[in-house]
């Protein structure tokens, strides 16, 4: 049995605490610190947002020893239970695949016939809260909203903030993941729906700050499953898919507040569209200081003040492909130091990205095979050639 114990919010320090109990009576405590409140917010609205974060953050601890049943301190409506089942099944698809689990091994939340309270309203002002990271998507979004007085927010579990965000003066939301007890518990490990976790924390901050919209840089991502476990699609980042985002757009006004809207201004943009727009509108300003590489920048407690590219991972290969039709070779050479297409050590990675020889698509946030094939076929002069044919 996995138990969702309780959650609390300390107003003086603007800190939330979430507690869970897992297998062998190991307790987990995660904290999250926020910027102090700037408006007189509705306490019941904040509580509803905290409860949602409580459930989503629980995936980080549930995965240690997944069970088919959980103990939860509040009654759920049918649509809440259905959404949470999606989060703990589709949202843990990669985790299940890598640990040889099926949908039947994962939890199924049950709904209650109890009446669920209607969401309240809270004080907001007409400015959006934009989640930024230093990657191409969020930087493009921030630039597109420059005339809307956006408030930037950066979510991190380390002590560092990328220098590229200095001009944004971002609100910093810090997650204090219970690493010691995760290590003590042992058990299984794997990917969790981190985008939904970040959005749940952003919702809390929007209530405290009085922002009327939450905006992420999410295009048409995660549509192609990497594999299937029976009827369970395996996506690296299911929480970025249109399905997940539509469910959250429905959840917020139903169960948190009608005052705050989740907005995705890149929702209709493909990854190629985003790369093209970034090259045209943002490359001159950010081209030599941004990065979408997780390996080089976002490991636990990594110093990511100066963003870098490792040049060896699927994210680097994906970015190199996407920008090849829009950014001169000499510009990418400055970032990666070599032509990635000509590097034999990346051949299998490119095969997975381009759907060649049945190599599985890498578990990363990458573009569709069709987009990446188009990008390679339309690369600008100077780029090398891959050591295999694409048919």
- Per-residue pLDDT at 170: 96
Greatest mean pLDDT among 25-39, 117-131, 220-234, 302-316 lies in 25-39
- Per-residue pLDDT at 236: 78
In a domain, 238, yes or no: yes
Range in 108-122, 199-213, 280-294, 327-341 the model is least confident about: 108-122
Q: What is the pTM of this model?
A: 0.94
The predicted-structure confidence for 343-352, as pLDDT tens digits, reads as follows 999 999 999 9
Q: Alpha carbon 49 to chain centroid distance?
A: 18
- Please check whether residues 255 and 363 belong to one and the same domain: no
- Please check whether residues 119 and 16 belong to one and the same domain: yes
- Please check whether residues 45 and 112 belong to one and the same domain: yes
Q: What is the rounded average pLDDT of the residues 17-45?
A: 96
- Per-residue pLDDT at 364: 83
Q: Alpha carbon 257 to chain centroid distance?
A: 22
In a domain, 387, yes or no: no
- Per-residue pLDDT at 287: 95
In a domain, 134, yes or no: yes
Residue 263: in which H helix or E strand, if any?
strand 261-263
- Per-residue pLDDT at 256: 96
- Please check whether residues 228 and 169 belong to one and the same domain: yes
**Residue 305 structure tokens:** 């003040």
The predicted-structure confidence for 82-140, as pLDDT tens digits, reads as follows 999 999 999 999 899 899 999 999 999 999 866 677 788 999 999 999 999 999 999 99
- Please check whether residues 43 and 142 belong to one and the same domain: yes
- Please check whether residues 330 and 226 belong to one and the same domain: no
- Per-residue pLDDT at 113: 67
- Range of the structural domain that residue 139 is part of: 2-263
28 band by pLDDT with thresholds 50, 70 and 90: very high
- Please check whether residues 205 and 315 belong to one and the same domain: no
- Please check whether residues 343 and 281 belong to one and the same domain: yes
- Please check whether residues 35 and 162 belong to one and the same domain: yes
End residue of a domain, out of 221, 242, 263: 263
- Please check whether residues 86 and 55 belong to one and the same domain: yes
- In the chain, which residue ranges form alpha helices assigned H by DSSP? 43-57, 59-62, 78-89, 93-98, 136-144, 179-185, 194-209, 242-251, 271-281, 283-286, 294-297, 314-323, 329-336, 347-354, 369-377
- The domain total for the chain is 2
Cα(6)–Cα(277) distance, rounded to whole angstroms?
Answer: 44
- Please check whether residues 97 and 183 belong to one and the same domain: yes
Please report, for the domain that includes residue 118, its CATH number: 3.40.50
In a domain, 71, yes or no: yes
pLDDT above 70 covers what percent of the chain?
97
- Per-residue pLDDT at 300: 58
- Per-residue pLDDT at 231: 80
End residue of a domain, out of 220, 239, 263: 263
- Please check whether residues 255 and 335 belong to one and the same domain: no
Rg (CA), the chain: 21
End residue of a domain, out of 210, 241, 263: 263
The predicted-structure confidence for 153-209, as pLDDT tens digits, reads as follows 999 998 889 999 999 999 999 999 999 999 999 999 999 999 999 999 999 999 999
């Amino acid at each position: 049995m996995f138990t969702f114990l309780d959650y609390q919010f300390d107003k003086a320090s603007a800190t939330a605490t979430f507690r869970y109990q897992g297998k062998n009576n190991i307790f987990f405590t995660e904290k999250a610190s926020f910027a102090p409140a700037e408006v007189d917010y509705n306490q019941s609205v904040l509580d509803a947002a905290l409860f949602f974060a409580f459930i989503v953050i629980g995936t980080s601890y549930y995965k240690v020893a997944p069970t088919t049943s959980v103990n939860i301190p509040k009654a759920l409506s049918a649509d809440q239970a259905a959404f949470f089942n999606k989060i703990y099944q589709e949202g843990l698809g990669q985790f299940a695949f890598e640990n040889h689990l099926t949908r039947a091994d994962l939890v199924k939340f049950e709904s209650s016939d109890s009446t669920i309270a209607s969401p309240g309203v809270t004080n907001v002002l007409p400015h959006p809260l934009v989640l930024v990271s230093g990657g191409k998507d969020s930087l493009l979004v921030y630039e597109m909203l420059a005339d809307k007085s956006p408030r930037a927010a950066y979510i991190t579990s380390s002590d560092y903030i990328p220098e590229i965000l200095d001009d944004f003066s971002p609100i910093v939301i810090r997650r204090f993941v219970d690493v010691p007890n995760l290590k003590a518990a042992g058990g299984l490990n794997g990917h969790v729906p981190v985008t939904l976790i970040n959005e749940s924390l952003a919702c809390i901050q929007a209530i405290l700050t009085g922002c009327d919209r939450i905006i992420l840089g999410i295009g048409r991502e995660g549509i192609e499953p990497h594999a299937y476990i029976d009827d369970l699609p395996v996506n690296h980042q299911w929480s970025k898919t249109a399905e997940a985002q539509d469910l959250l757009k429905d959840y917020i006004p139903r169960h948190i507040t009608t005052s705050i809207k989740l907005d995705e201004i890149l929702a209709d943009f493909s990854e190629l569209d985003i790369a093209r727009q970034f090259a045209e509108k943002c490359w001159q300003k950010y081209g030599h200081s941004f990065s979408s590489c997780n390996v080089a920048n976002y490991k636990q407690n990594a110093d990511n003040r100066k963003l870098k590219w490792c040049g060896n991972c699927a994210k680097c290969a994906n970015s190199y492909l996407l920008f090849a039709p829009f950014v001169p070779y000499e510009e990418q050479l400055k970032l990666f130091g070599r032509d990635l297409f000509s590097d034999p050590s990346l051949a299998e990675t490119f095969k997975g990205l381009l759907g060649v020889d049945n190599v599985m698509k890498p578990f990363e946030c990458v573009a569709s095979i069709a987009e990446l094939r188009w990008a390679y076929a339309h690369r600008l002069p100077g780029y090398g050639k891959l050591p295999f044919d694409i048919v």
